[in-house]
Chains A and B, each alone.
Chain A
Amino acid sequence: MTATLNTTIIQNASSSTPNITLDTVGNAAFGGMPYGASSFKRNRIINGNILIDQRNNGASVTASTTGSDVYTVDRWSYYVTQASKFTVQQNAGSVTPPAGFTKYLGFTSSSAYTSVSTDLLVGFQWIEGYNVADLNFGTANAKTITVSFWAYSSLTGTFAGSVIGTNGSAFRSYVFTFSLASANTWTYITVTIPGDTTTFSYNTTNGQGLALSFNLGCGSNYQTTAGSWSSSNYYSVSGAQNITATSGATFYITGVQLEVGSVATPYEFNPYSDQLAQCQRYYQIGSAQMSSYGVVSNGFSYFVPLQVSMRVAPTYSSTFSYNLNCSSGTVYSASTVGAVHQVTITSTGQVAFSEQYSASAEL
């Protein structure tokens, strides 16, 4: 049964002014400020609609590096204990995304691999501690959160994901499951997760705050029962689909949102420029070009500011093109706002070079 409240003004009994005034064409004017359970922007996931892919610009990446977090599309990474069991790509397989979206994150199995107990193959996003500090995880005041996303797979059945926190040495995790009943069909998933009230020092500054992960091929050591918080890093449940077990199997996601409360609200779209800037706090690419006069054996140094202040002083990778009388480019004295770049002058006279760099301050 539905009911309609027909009124023009909603006003607190103790107030002398309306809280909400409704007009005849669908508008609502607030007398004060509207706010929800959180005053923060709702979605704690960055690049949840997979628009930004600075590193690969839509190209496929084989998950070949084992034992460390490897970033693919912006803010999203993989961790694997077995090399080359799947590929990662923005819009892998070129299927039509859900309405309102243009991009998705696609994982495609490269073979039929049976995971052993110690295997960990996941895709995930770390959220910076500053951006989840208000959740009060690890305290009695921990807030309920809701994760929502669109999922698509060539397989059907039960899939698994988890929310994970760390204090640098120990973990907390909450495994959840979701069902995809129809193959090759986008399905909207919502999962509500109670806040973690067990005493634990979640990072609340510029380190790893919370991770949202999706199982791709975990072994039994990383499986537990879904639906409760655990004092370890679990990612899946027994019987959940491992896409890496089926050659060519796919798992795609987009519209990923993690927010405060027990209700999944519509995906929070950001202007492209805002979303790019959010990503650039963790990774950015740039270029510099110089032409000047130099004296042999001296260094030619210049400060290159970053486009957005980064999470920490970043790691640089630079490709120099030495056009005239210079070599041996380096980058040093990096800070969150820029770094000194330098080439060594090989002959006195005109010096010319260009440089393309990436700066990474990932979690």
Chain B
Amino acid sequence: MYTNAQYMKDMNGNQSGIKVDINGIESFVPLDPANTDYIKIMALVQEGKLTITPAS
């Protein structure tokens, strides 16, 4: 469900979100611990099922 995850940076170089495909649709997930997608992504990362690559 969540694939191709990569951190994003804002114009000041700060980490500002995660670009990720959700069911094949490119999406932008905020770093908000109450956001449902962020919660699921972090759970997958903790389980070793998803890796978030650093921002380019």
Contact = CB atoms under 8 A, between A and B. Distances in A.
B27 A314 contact: no
What 3 A-B pairs are tightest by C-beta distance, nearest first? A313-B30, A313-B32, A334-B30
B23 A315 contact: no
Interface of A: prevailing SS: strand
Contact of B10 (A207, A333, A361): A333
B41 to A, nearest CB: 10
Nearest to A301: B11
A332 B1 contact: no
Interface of A: 65, 67-68, 206-207, 299, 301, 311-318, 330-335, 339-340, 342, 360-363
Nearest to A299: B11
B46 to A, nearest CB: 15
B30 A314 contact: yes
Interface residues of B, number: 23
Interface of B: 1, 8-11, 16-17, 19, 22-23, 25-30, 32, 34-38, 40
B40 A332 contact: no
Nearest to A318: B28
B26 A206 contact: no
B35 A361 contact: yes
Contacts of A316: 27-28
B17 to A, nearest CB: 4
Contacts of A342: 11
A317 B8 contact: no
B32 A317 contact: no
B27 A317 contact: yes
A253 B54 CA distance: 46
